[in-house]
Every structure is written in structure tokens, then in C-alpha cells.
Amino acid sequence: MKVCVIGLGRFGYNVATTLTARGIEVLAIDSNESIIASIKDYVTQAICMRVTDEAVLRSVGVEEMDLVIVATGENFAQSILITALLKQRLNVKRVITRSINEIHEEIVTLIGADETVIPEQEIGVTLAERLSSPFTEHFFHITPNFFMGQIEAPESFVGQSLEELSLYKNYNVRCVARMADDDFIPVGSKYVIKAGDMLLFAGKEQDLKKIYKLSE
């Protein structure tokens, strides 16, 4: 997979370097030479150029990318122009555009952005969910109603296998992993729960809360 990130502020910089660390081929583009110098060793390729110049974008093969992320959200007009060039002139397969508000989001969607993201909004929602969740620091909102949350094994579960507990039948949840060495390890039906186990459960929020109460 080939990804191009245009605009290397804090958002774009972190997206580009994280994708590269995960094995994705990343072309990072910005008009600031010092930013390009700082990121060049952490991405596949880094180029300093005018990000709104169609000819220059063509010259570096942006139209051949599987995905282009327009991360120049702070500059409202610039991100709109880049998105339009990518979708309407260069026919890029998939474009994700960072937006600064809902109006910006609506405009870039109208001109062709396949997906939009408002980082500040998403961070705010994530923080609110974490603060209001009864679970520990590890939780994942898969859909509005489906959760994955890390919960310490209830004392009544200790010594029993997941098969014996029949979690789905009795609680409408599933245990999919346990924490070991700061990482999640998948567990099967024969796994016997130990005292102090930090387990990753999946299910609806109200059902996970029932498991959490058992562990209190």
C-alpha cells in the first residue's frame, strides 16, 4: 500500500511516521524545508514542494497513490484546493481530508473527499468516553453500541475455563484476550482464568458493565 501525506503539522507528521513504522510506504510532502529535514529519516520519502501545484503533484506520482491524506486542515482554503485537485484533476483513488469544523467537512465532502476527519472533535469524544467509562485505560468503541473493554477477572471467574463460564450464554459477552507483558494475547475456550488476570471483553456496553460490577 502506498500512502501520501500532504501537510506535516503535528497531525500529518504523526500520521506519516506511524504509518511508516507499521510497514506502509509513505510519501510525505510539505512546503517547509525544516519539517522535511526532520521527517526524512522516518518515512519512505519526504519532498519539499508547493502542495497546491497540480503539475508538481503529478511529477511526484501522487495520482498513483492508493491513498492521499490531506492534513493541512488549519489552512481552510488550501485543503479545499488540494482535495479538489486530487479528486477532480488527478483522479486519486481515495482521499482523506482533515477538517477544522463541520462546514469545512461538508465542503471537502462535496468536492470529492472520500473520508474526512476532525481530530480535535474525535479526541474530545474519546476523552469523554474514557472519563465516563467504568473500564480501565484500555477500551475501544467499535460502534455506538459495541465495546471492547479491559476488566480485571472477577473473583468468581478464577479457576474456571472460558468454556465453563459460558460467558455469551450467561452475560452476552465474549472474552477475547488477556493482558501479558503490556500486550494483549488471544485466549481460547480452554483458557483457565487466574487471579489478577486483566481480560479483554467484547459486547454491548450495558453487558460489559455487568462484568465490571462483578470485579468490584
pLDDT of 135 higher than 60? no
* Residue of 107, 109, 59, 83 whose CA lies nearest to 6: 83
Q: Is residue 127 part of a domain?
A: no
What string of H, E and C letters represents the secondary structure of the chain? CEEEEECCCHHHHHHHHHHHHCCCEEEEEECCHHHHHHHCCCCCEEEECCCCCHHHHHHCCHHHCCEEEECCCCCHHHHHHHHHHHHHHCCCCCEEEECCCHHHHHHHHHCCCCEEECHHHHHHHHHHHHHHCCCCCCEEECCCCEEEEEEECCHHHCCCEHHHHCHHHHHCEEEEEEEECCEEEECCCCCECCCCCEEEEEEEHHHHHHHHHHHC
pLDDT tens track for 26-57: 999 999 999 999 999 999 999 999 999 999 99
Could you tell me whether strands 146-152 and 198-204 are parallel, antiparallel, or unpaired per DSSP bridges? Answer: antiparallel
Query: In CATH, what number is assigned to the domain containing residue 99?
Result: 3.40.50.720
pLDDT of residue 212: 84
Higher pLDDT residue, 73 or 196?
Answer: 196
pLDDT of residue 210: 87
pLDDT tens track for 142-156: 776 788 888 889 999
pLDDT of residue 182: 81
Mean pLDDT of all residues belonging to the chain: 89
pLDDT of residue 149: 84
The band of 79, judged by pLDDT with boundaries at 50, 70 and 90, is very high
Residues 89 and 192 in one domain: no
**pTM higher than the cut 0.75:** no
pLDDT of 121 higher than 90? no
Give CA–CA dist 183/185, Å, rounded. Answer: 7
Report CA-CA distances (Å) from 12 to 26, 139, 166, 193, 200. Answer: 11, 25, 45, 42, 31
pLDDT tens track for 138-188: 667 677 678 888 888 999 999 999 999 999 999 999 999 998 888 889 999
CA atoms within a 13 Å half-sphere pointing along the CA-CB vector of 201: 28
pLDDT over 70 percentage in the chain = 92
Q: Is residue 128 part of a domain?
A: no
Q: Which of 100, 122, 144 is the last residue of a domain?
A: 122
Name the domain count of the chain: 2
* Residue of 52, 41, 33 whose CA lies nearest to 16: 41
pLDDT tens track for 55-67: 999 999 999 999 9
pLDDT of residue 215: 79
Residues 144 and 175 in one domain: yes
Residue span of the structural domain in which 82 resides: 2-122
Residues 10 and 116 in one domain: yes
The band of 127, judged by pLDDT with boundaries at 50, 70 and 90, is low
Q: Which of 97, 122, 147 is the last residue of a domain?
A: 122
